Amino acid sequence: MRELALHVLDILENAVEAGATRVELTIEEDQPGGWLTITIRDNGRGMDAATLAQVTSPFFTTRNTRHVGLGLPLFAAAAERAGGQLVVESAPGRGTTVLATFGCFHPDRQPLGDLPGTLLAFLLSQQAPDLHYHHRVDEDAFDFDTVDIRTALGDVPLSNPTVRWWLAGFLQEGEAEMAAARWEIAVGF
């Protein structure tokens, strides 16, 4: 994978498969400190210690459908290539937290990629859990909670074409502000 957003989508799908009704996705970029963290916390069924011990091994899966247990190992490899690591905390009935750290300016750190597209795909997917999103770049942040959005919409579903159009613009604008908060780093001069 070339984009962290695609890894994030994979980890969000794990939360959905674990029956989560609420997910918190936090992306924090600290440029003076030189680090980037991505945290995905869910309230799904969680994992026992034996499962947890195996989740970052390639091809470990408890699924018998579709693909092959690479979501967490690939995310771990992306973090390690960029001078960081992946930590998974989980307990049965207590949900799961996946924390990935990266060297923000490490040459092998993948770009965040299309976060608005990833978020939109997730929010419009069948049985999407509630999402609390927080993206911070130094002092600036973009936040939303689908609970608030749904309350404001009343009976109108997120998939309503007008809402979809509004949501796409809202996500693009929020992420554009985060991009503007980033330092321009000149490399190779």
Using alpha carbons, select from 180, 4, 34, 12 the residue that is nearest to residue 96: 12
- The yes or no reply on residue 96 touching Mg ion (CB under 5 A) is no
Q: Contact letters (x/-) for Mg ion, 12-51, by CB under 5 A? A: --x-------------------------------------
CA distances from 68 to 2, 10, 25, 154 (A): 19, 12, 24, 39
69's contact among Mg ion, ligand ADP, none, with CB below 5 to 8 A by partner kind, is: ligand ADP
Residue least distant from ligand ADP (Cβ) = 71
Whether the CA torsion 122, 128, 129, 132 is positive or negative: it is positive
- The yes or no reply on residue 18 touching ligand ADP (CB under 6 A) is yes
Question: In angstroms, rounded to a whole number, what is the distance separating the alpha carbons of residues 37 and 67?
Answer: 26
Provide the minimum distance between the beta carbon of 176 and ligand ADP in the complex, in angstroms, as a whole number: 30
Helices 161-181 and 115-123, interaxial angle, to 10°?
Answer: 150
Work out which of 46, 71, 95, 174 binds Mg ion, going by CB under 5 A: 71
Provide the minimum distance between the beta carbon of 60 and ligand ADP in the complex, in angstroms, as a whole number: 6
By CB under 6 A, the residues from 124 to 163 that bind ligand ADP are: none
- Residue 2 or 143: which CB sits closer to Mg ion? 2
188's contact among ligand ADP, Mg ion, none, with CB below 5 to 8 A by partner kind, is: none
The answer for 19, left when phi > 0, alpha when psi is -120 to 50, beta otherwise, is left
